[in-house]
Amino acid sequence: MTRRLINRIGKLEALYATSKLARSPLVMLVERNQKGGLAPGERVVEDWFRDCGSIVWGRERVATETEDVGRRCPPGGYLLDVLQHFHEHCPWRKRAGVCQMCQGTPVENEECKS
């Protein structure tokens, strides 16, 4: 083999051997209740409350504490309190098969299964 071919193969092998970057999930945000402006010291953070793999459901929340950067559910999991609140106001909860947000969680009930 020629030196040029060996160099090209080496470059291809180096590209293949590099670690793959972690993919960021697609975050779907639900509507925030507060529509007006923020007061001094307030800011908007995201709570990721339902992780479905490549899609994560989140909500925006107004925070006043500087250390509050938003909450994150575990991979494949959920934040029960936020999911319960979302389910109470879910526009799809009475249409069977439309919303699968609560499937496999304690929030799921007969109303969602029918």
Distance separating alpha carbons of residues 92 and 102, to the nearest angstrom = 11
Query: Distance (Å, rounded) from C-alpha 28 to C-alpha 59?
Result: 8
Ranges of residues in the chain whose predicted pLDDT is under 50: 110, 112-114
Torsion of CA 47, 86, 30, 64, to 10 degrees: -40
Report yes or no on 87 lying in a domain.
yes
Q: Is residue 91 part of a domain?
A: yes
| pLDDT at residue 110 in the model | 47
Residue type, 15: L
Number of folded domains in the chain?
A: 1
Residue 65 within any structural domain of the chain: yes
Write out the DSSP string of 35-88.
-SPPPTT-EEEEEEEEE-SSEEEEEEEEE--TT----BPPTT-B-HHHHHHHHH
In a domain, residue 103? The reply is yes
Residue 4 lies in a domain: no
Q: Which domain covers residue 71, as residue numbers? A: 23-113
pLDDT at 112: 47
The dihedral over CA atoms of 108, 91, 68, 80, expressed in degrees to the nearest 10, equals -10
Q: Which amino acid is present at 103?
A: Q
- pLDDT for 93 equals 67
